[in-house]
Structure 1
Amino acid sequence: MSVLVLHRNPLAAFPYRQWLNGDAPGLDGHAPYPGDLVVLAARDKIESAGERLPDDTDHDFTHLELFDTLDDDRVPARALALAEKYRITHVVAHHEADVALAARLRERLGLDGAWSADIMPFRDKALMKRLARGAGVEVAPHTVPGTAEQARAFAARHGFPVVLKDRAGYNSIGLSIIADQDELEQRLARAYRDGARDDLLVEAFVPGRMCHVDGLVVDGRTVAAWPSQYQYDLASFGTDPGPRVDLTLDVDDPLTPRLLLLIERTLAALKPEGSRLRTHAFHAEVFHTPDDRLVLCEIAARSGGAKIREVFEVLFGIQLAVQVTRAEAGLPLPALEGAVDERGRLRPRCMSGQVLTMKRPGLVRSLPAAPDEEWVKGFWLFAEEGQVIAPASGSADFLTAAVGSAPTRLACERALRALGARIVTQTQIVPLPGNGYGTPVRPAAPDGRTEAS
């Protein structure tokens, strides 16, 4: 038994060997993992979080190999070579950009777990929407515009604003909300300057608040899931200087059962009988419109970004990344304990949420102190005073992050908004001329962990 990990995150928050050993919250004991652990990691993600690059003396992997980025064209061949050398039996990938490669490797090697056809409905937004709509789940009008003229025709039919995004995108990177014809023409000139393409999606803008549902499926059955609601627009990461609050929904919120049911129907539509995708986390985003409709935006077969994994742990006492790592490594999961509902799912122990601020360019003059209130379950800084930082490159490029808990959503919201206001007040970033961004530094966290989602 041996595991290959494709890792596109900082390393400190992912102690894979401990997780495989069973040494993590919610696991039953410590049984040393007997096999090899081979990790291919992204240097850019480690450095952007301020972590020191590991050498051979400060990691517990059988083999660690760093690439400048996991988008390097050499990664697939190197992963296959290492898989053959170490006789890899399981492949693990937590990042949206790596699940397809992990699936191809499993398929090529004949390994357990999801193969390409199982992952594709969660990676190809056009296929995803077609399958969901076929199951009666509402999605926004959309098309795959092969040419600029097809995109213009769609906008003429549906009006502005329209949304243009990568068909297999993530973290809002490359997403544009286009307000008018002039802006559309500018975007199309860039997008189609090399001719026709089939990797973009254009869809009608859906008004309303974005909700998300996060959960864990074990052997084909959802064992824990809960909805939350963003109190901000994901696509505004480059212009939003204020606190971005995300809150779980109360048990008695009318939206809660509707969202959970919608996602069950979606999962069933995207995983037909015979799917090899049996145990996995999921992160789904759903619009709640002003006229009370639920419209699926998209769903991923992996845990959510930001601090969603930590929020989930506050809710249920289990960490999604730990569970998925062990499942994809072929290891048993501990018995899920705690109060369950009539469908056998875990009930949340409290409400939770997160408050985030985004990086913006300039010299960091001051940053907030770590809060010491008991209700704050985690706090992270992703910069240091005196550092020159670049603007946020995506919706997961944070300056600060905090996770809290409270008995109700309202109490949690009040506390998080007050904390967010304090964080903004205590943060000072001075714009600088030019584009001189500094060397990343180590983020600080009260519990010693660092992470960028």
Structure 2
Amino acid sequence: MSERRPALLLIGGLAVAWNQRWLAAARDRGLELLVLDAPGPHAATLLAGRATPGHPLADVVEADLVPAEDLAGLADRAAAWALEHDIRAVCCLREEYVEGTALVADLLGLRSPGLRAARVCRNKLLQRRYLADWSPVSALVPATGRTELAAGWDAFPLVVKPVGRLASSGVRLVADRAELLDSLTAYEPDETLLFEQRAEGPEYSVESLSLHGEVQYLGTTEKRTTEVVGDYFVEMGHTTPAPGLDGPTRERLYAVHRAVLARLRFDTGMAHAEYRIGPDGRIVLIEIAARPPGDSIMALHWLATLAPLEDAVVAVALGERPEPVRPSRYARQVYLPHEPGVLAGLAVAPELAAVPQWFDPALVRAQVARCGEPDAPSALRCVVALKPAGTVLHPIRQSGDRAAMFVVDAATPEALDRIEERCLAAITLQTRA
């Protein structure tokens, strides 16, 4: 039998095709890369390109497609690979695979957030019950009898959340009983819902890295959502580090986050938690995930600290203490609003000297490919259309409805605001009826 070579297993890991900092983290440590992800047309397209010279997935030595809900299948595939590879660490890159990754880690004796943290973070109701000290008041609403419960509800405004969905899908603010009853028609007949007290105040996320229960890294991200123009909570902007937080408030936020991690017995890995800070100063947990954040938040931390956070995630999974880093710049991702219609184009004015990228799973490239020095001029890092031309665009009611975005960074919050204004004036998302 040939010698087993050291390897890193990424579950939900085909995102490495667009974020090659994961590939660099494995390559720098001499680790072979193994990837599990979900079946689907994008996955098939990506895997078909592995043999193409220069394709980023050419570095992946093993890849397979197993549905997230098939826990036995994930465990079986990982166990088979462990006979041929010395799997040193496992990391989860997608929300659907949080539980499966923790199970695989437990099976192979590897580090992970832990089975409690994974299970609770994957279930909105369990979060409310385990983390009640930091959560809004909520009620579980089973599919049967929800109309009767809604008819008697008298605490408004109210946030309605489907328990089993992702990416803000179905999360809606309702103002009164009539609106609540009307909103129920948007959910499947068998969906379980949460009715939650509205948490007021600005929204922030905390990104953290832990090793054996000890927090190694903490960072903040400031959020913008569609709630300012409607009844939904789709994230339309992220800024890292959060410029709206003063030092004492940031420390209070970190203290709450540490307490939440302790309640979850969060062991090793990355957590991404969203909080609101109310007018009375109370910090309320919106939700927490036992995985790296989505959108371009990982890239924002890289642009802000000049150190790839992906490398630190791999480090703690291997049992290493990551190098301490502090932000020296500010970075922002902005999603472009749009009117419903057919996506016709993404135009960038010449003065920005940027070429828009069109997302295509067959044409793989890093969306954010480089970062600057602490005092470097403000920069536009990418402009990306997230859907192909000809796509019918709907009102933005969930993350998947967003159609284009750009990423900028700068030395100060004021400079960041200025370059965002320039970009908004010079980038046009074109639609037709």
TM-score by length of 1: 0.73
Aligned to 1:225: 218
Q: 1:61 to 1:385 in 2, by over 3 A?
A: closer
Q: Distance in 2 between matches of 1:248 and 1:157?
A: 39
Q: CA deviation at 1:163?
A: 1.6
Aligned to 2:381: 378
Q: Which runs of 5+ in 2 are unaligned?
A: 1-5, 355-376
Q: Does 1:83 align with 2:78?
A: yes
Aligned to 2:363: none
Aligned to 2:261: 267
Q: Does 1:6 align with 2:11?
A: yes
Q: 1:45 to 1:358 in 2, by over 3 A?
A: farther
Q: CA deviation at 1:214?
A: 2.0
Aligned to 1:351: 330
Aligned partner letter, 2:261 = L
Per-residue CA deviation, residues 75-118 of structure 1 (Å, 9 max, x unaligned), is 54443332232216343211111111111223345544344323
Q: Does 1:211 align with 2:204?
A: yes
Per-residue CA deviation, residues 137-159 of structure 1 (Å, 9 max, x unaligned), is 3x211011235546754774552
Aligned to 1:60: 59
Which of the two has greater strand per residue?
A: 2
Q: Distance in 1 between matches of 2:282 and 2:231?
A: 29
Aligned partner letter, 2:333 = Q
Q: How does 1:120-139 map to 2 (within 5 A)?
A: 120-134=119-133, 137=134, 139=135
Corresponding residue SS for 1:229: strand
Aligned to 2:92: 93
Pick from 163, 168, 175 the counterpart of residue 159 of structure 2: 163
Aligned partner letter, 2:97 = D
Q: Distance in 2 between matches of 1:385 and 1:298?
A: 31
Pick from 303, 308, 324 the counterpart of residue 314 of structure 1: 303
Q: Distance in 2 between matches of 1:193 and 1:241?
A: 24
Q: Distance in 1 between matches of 2:92 and 2:229?
A: 28
Q: Distance in 1 between matches of 2:142 and 2:386?
A: 41
Q: CA deviation at 1:333?
A: 5.1
Q: 1:55 to 1:174 in 2, by over 3 A?
A: same
Q: Distance in 2 between matches of 1:191 and 1:96?
A: 21
Corresponding residue SS for 2:59: coil
Q: Is the 8 A contact 2:237 2:332 kept in 1?
A: no
Q: CA deviation at 1:279?
A: 2.7
Q: Distance in 1 between matches of 2:147 and 2:312?
A: 42
Q: Which runs of 5+ in 1 are unaligned?
A: 23-30, 272-276, 337-345, 432-453
Identity of aligned residues (%): 21
Deviates more, 1:317-326 or 1:296-305: 317-326
Q: Distance in 2 between matches of 1:98 and 1:233?
A: 27
Aligned to 2:368: none
Aligned to 2:30: 32
Q: Distance in 2 between matches of 1:201 and 1:176?
A: 11
Q: Distance in 1 between matches of 2:50 and 2:257?
A: 43
Which of the two has greater helix per residue?
A: 2
Aligned to 2:142: 146
Deviates more, 1:92-101 or 1:102-111: 102-111
Corresponding residue SS for 1:412: helix
Per-residue CA deviation, residues 375-406 of structure 1 (Å, 9 max, x unaligned), is 22521313588543554683265433333333
Corresponding residue SS for 1:62: strand
Aligned to 1:323: 312
Aligned partner letter, 2:172 = S
Structure with bigger RCO (C-alpha 8 Å, 6+ apart): 1
Q: Distance in 2 between matches of 1:385 and 1:190?
A: 27
Aligned partner letter, 1:163 = V
Number of matched residues?
A: 393
Per-residue CA deviation, residues 125-180 of structure 1 (Å, 9 max, x unaligned), is 2332333334xx3x211011235546754774552332221335431023232333
Aligned partner letter, 1:335 = E
Per-residue CA deviation, residues 289-342 of structure 1 (Å, 9 max, x unaligned), is 2343322211222222221111111222332333223433x3645533xxxxxx
Aligned to 2:24: 18
Q: Distance in 1 between matches of 2:96 and 2:229?
A: 21
Per-residue CA deviation, residues 227-246 of structure 1 (Å, 9 max, x unaligned), is 23223337979989997464
Corresponding residue SS for 1:323: helix
Q: Distance in 1 between matches of 2:142 and 2:194?
A: 9
Q: Is the 8 A contact 2:124 2:163 kept in 1?
A: yes
Q: How does 1:189-200 map to 2 (within 5 A)?
A: 191=187, 193-194=189-190, 199-200=192-193
Q: Is the 8 A contact 1:3 1:37 kept in 2?
A: yes
Aligned to 1:255: 249
Corresponding residue SS for 2:403: strand
Pick from 393, 418, 423 the counterpart of residue 422 of structure 2: 418
Q: Does 1:104 align with 2:103?
A: yes
Q: CA deviation at 1:201?
A: 1.9
Aligned to 1:292: 281
Q: Distance in 1 between matches of 2:309 and 2:409?
A: 18
Q: Distance in 1 between matches of 2:228 and 2:74?
A: 33
Q: CA deviation at 1:186?
A: 3.9
Q: CA deviation at 1:410?
A: 3.5
Q: Distance in 2 between matches of 1:45 and 1:409?
A: 40
